[in-house]
Chains A and B, each alone.
Chain A
Amino acid sequence: MRRSGRVVRRRRGWLTSLAHHAAAIRRDTLDVLSAIGDEHRGHPGASLSIVELITALYFDIMRVDPARPDWPDRDRFVLSKGHGCLALYVALARRGYFDPAELRTFRSVDSLLQGHPDMRRTPGVDMTSGSLGHGLSTGVGLALDARQRGSPARVYVVLGDGELQEGLVWEGAMAAAKYGLANLTALVDVNGLQSGGRVSETMPIEPLAAKWRAFGWRVTSIDGHDLGAIVASAQRAMSQSRPSVILARTVKGKGVAWMEGNNRWHQACPPRDAPSESLATPAPRPEPRLLASTRAAFGDAVLQLLRAGRDLMVVTSDTRSSMGLDAVAREFPDRHVEVGIAEQNLLAVAAGLAAGGRR
C-alpha cells in the first residue's frame, strides 16, 4: 500500500514475527526488573502495558535505522509516560542501538539507561521525557520541525491515560490541531490505572474519544495489545490531513498473571523466577529499628493534627499513597481533595482553599 508517499510492503508472517518480538521484549523487561532489585526498582506495570505499542512502532511502523541514530529523516518517538521506559530500552537494544548487556545497568549510576528517557545519553532516544504531560508538546515541536524542513519524518508520542490529567497535554493537543500536524500520531496507553489507583476515581478523564475529537484530532480506539490493530491504525493515520490519536486499551502489567490490573506493581521489584500464574504478596522485609521515612512521618503528623481537631484541608496530585496520606484520606474523606496528576491545579486549588480563610 502507498500512504503519504511511503510504500509499505509486508513479508508473509510479519504479524507472527512481531508477536515474537513482543514476547521477547516482555520477557527481557521482566528479567531486567528482577535483576536490578528493589534498590533500583522500575515501573513494571507501566512498562508491560506498552510492550505491543513499542514493538509495533520499532519493529514495523517507524522508519528508523539503528546504524544511523542521528539520521535527520528518521521517524521520531517520544515516550511521554517516561516511567515506562524500560520497555523502550529493551526494544532499542533488540533493534541494535546498544548492547543488550547495558540493560541490567538500568537506573544504576553511570548507566546509559536513565530512570526516565534521556536523549543525550541513550542512543535511539529522540526526546528527553519523564515529567508527565510534556511529551505531546515536544512531539508538536518535532512535527513542526519535520514539516518546516520538508522531511518525511513522522512523530509518534505514547502517553499514559493518567497523564492526560496534566493540562499541558491539552495545550499541545490544541497546537497540533491548529497546525494540522498530519505527521503527528499520539498513542494513549489506556490501562485505567495510575500511581495511586484507578484513573476514573483519581480524576475522571472520560469521555476520552469525544475530548480528542473536540480538540480537532482524528480518533481511533483499539485493543492496545493487538499488534495488527496497532499497525493498521498507525497506517491509516498516515493518510490523514490532521493529527491522529490512537486510544489503545491495555492492561497494566500485561502478560504476567499476578501483575495484571494490580497496582501494587506500579513501581516495585518483581521477584526472580516468579511463578507465572499466581503469587502471594511478598512478605515485607523486617524493618531495621533506626530507619524511618520522612514522607511517611509527614503523613503521620498530618493525621495526628487532624485527629487533634486541627482545621486542615489536604490536597494531593496522585500523591495520596506515595506521600503517606492514605490514612488521612480514609479517616478524613471530607478533608481530602484529589486533583489527579496536575501540579499547577494542585497549588492553585490550594491557594483558593486558603484564601477562604482556612488554616
Chain B
Amino acid sequence: VIVATYATFASMRALEQLRTFIAYPRLRVIVAAGLGGLSGGIEGVAHLGVEDLGILRCVPGLTILVPADAPETSALVRGAVEVDGPVYLRLGRDDSPVLFDDPVERRIGSGVVLARYGDDAALLTQGLVTAEVLAAAAMLQRSGLDTTVVELPTLKPLDAALVRAAVAETSLVVTVEEHSVVGGLGAAVADVLFDRAIGHRIGLPDQFLESGSPGELRVKFGLTADAIAAHVRVLHATGAGGPRAQARQTARR
C-alpha cells in the first residue's frame, strides 16, 4: 500500500497513525511525503518539512529513505516495495538537478561514495542538497582541500559501516542535510560515532515495547539501579568511553 501526502502532515498530523497502526504492527505501507526539506519553502512554516526525519527516526522499524534526485527516487520506490515493513519516502516538489543516470542501482540500507577527491574531510549527506554538496566538494578541491562525499539515501537503518569507514579515513567529518540539525542525518551519524568512542547510552531500545508495570519494564530493559551500576561497571572495565577514557585510565596507572 502506498500513501501520498506531504512531509509535515505525514510526520506530525498523522504521526500516531503511522507509529501505532502501521509501524507497530509492521505493516507494509510506503508513506510518500512531498514538500520535504526546503522544497515547500514558499508556503512557510506550516508546510516546511524540516523536522520530519528527526521525528520519524524515533519510530521503531520504520525505514526512512531520502533520495537525492529523480532517478534515485525511482530506484528507491522499486526497493521500498520489497521492504517487509513500513517505509517513509521523503520527496521534494519542483524540478531539481538530476545527478544520476537512469536507471540507477541503490540498495536500501546502503550508502554510496559519490566523489573521492581525498581524505582532508568527509562530507556525509543525503537528499536534494546532495547536488550542492557535490558542487561544494568540487570547489574545495580546486582550492586545495580534498574531500570525500558520501551519500546516505537510507537514513534508517543507517549504513553504519560506511559511516565508520569514512570517519576512519579522515580527521574532519561534516554532515550536510536539508533538515534541522536536531534529529536528522547529523544526529544519526553522531549516534553511530558516540557509542564506544565517547560514551555509551543507556535507555530503551529502538523497538516497540510491551505491557508491564513500570517496575517490571525497568527490570526487563535495564533501568534499575542495579542494572545501571552493573552496566557502567562493565563499560568502565572495557574502556568503552573511547580514547579519552582510555588515556585517563592509562595516566592513572
Contact = CB atoms under 8 A, between A and B. Distances in A.
Choose among B2, B29, B92, B96 the residue with the greatest number of A CB atoms under 10 Å from its CB. B2
Q: Which 6 A-B pairs have the closest CB atoms?
A: A130-B46, A347-B17, A292-B70, A115-B44, A297-B70, A301-B77
B67 A294 contact: yes
A301 B73 contact: yes
Contact of B14 (A291, A313, A346): A346
A293 B43 contact: no
A145 to B, nearest CB: 22
A323 B34 contact: yes
Interface stretch (A9-17, A186-194, A351-359): A351-359
Contacts of A60: none
A294 B73 contact: yes
Interface in A281-304: 287-288, 290-298, 300-302, 304
A351 B69 contact: no
Nearest to A40: B42
7 contacts: A107-B44, A115-B44, A130-B45, A292-B69, A301-B74, A344-B17, A347-B21
A313 B4 CA distance: 11
Interface stretch (A170-178, A232-240, A258-266, A314-322): A314-322
A303 to B, nearest CB: 10
A163 B4 CA distance: 17
B135 interface: no
Contacts, number: 174
Contacts of B16: 344
Interface string B153-190: 00000000000000000000000000000000000000
A132 to B, nearest CB: 9
Contact of A130 (B2, B29, B44, B70): B44
A223 to B, nearest CB: 30
A348 B19 CA distance: 10
B9 interface: yes
Given A115-B43, A351-B25, A312 B81 contact: yes
Contacts of A314: 1-4
B78 interface: yes
Given A83-B43, A114-B45, A314-B2, 18 more contacts: A115-B41, A118-B44, A288-B95, A294-B70, A295-B93, A297-B74, A298-B4, A298-B91, A300-B74, A305-B81, A312-B2, A315-B4, A316-B4, A317-B4, A323-B4, A347-B3, A350-B27, A354-B28
Contacts of B4: 298, 314-317, 319-320, 323, 325
Interface string A127-163: 0111100000000000000000000000000000000
A301 B9 contact: no
Nearest to A36: B42
A350 B69 CA distance: 26
B13 interface: yes
Contacts of B31: 347, 350
Give the interface size class of chain B. 35 or more
A76 interface: no
B128 to A, nearest CB: 7
B14 A292 contact: no
A322 B45 contact: no
Contacts of B44: 107, 114-116, 118, 130
B46 A131 contact: yes
B140 interface: no
B138 to A, nearest CB: 16
Contacts of A291: 95-98
A39 interface: yes
B210 interface: no
A82 interface: yes
Contacts of B41: 115
B134 to A, nearest CB: 13
Interface string A19-46: 0000000000000000000011110000
A116 B42 CA distance: 9
B8 interface: yes
B14 A351 contact: no
A327 to B, nearest CB: 13
B42 A323 contact: no
B21 A348 contact: yes
B74 A351 contact: no
B46 A129 contact: yes
A6 interface: no
Contacts of B29: 347, 350-351, 354
Given A40-B42, A290-B97, A351 B27 contact: yes
Contact of A131 (B9, B25, B74, B92): B9
Nearest to A302: B2
B34 A322 contact: yes
A295 B71 CA distance: 11
A304 B1 CA distance: 15
A68 interface: no
B2 A359 contact: no
Contact of B43 (A130, A292, A325, A347): A130
A307 B252 CA distance: 68
A54 B91 CA distance: 35
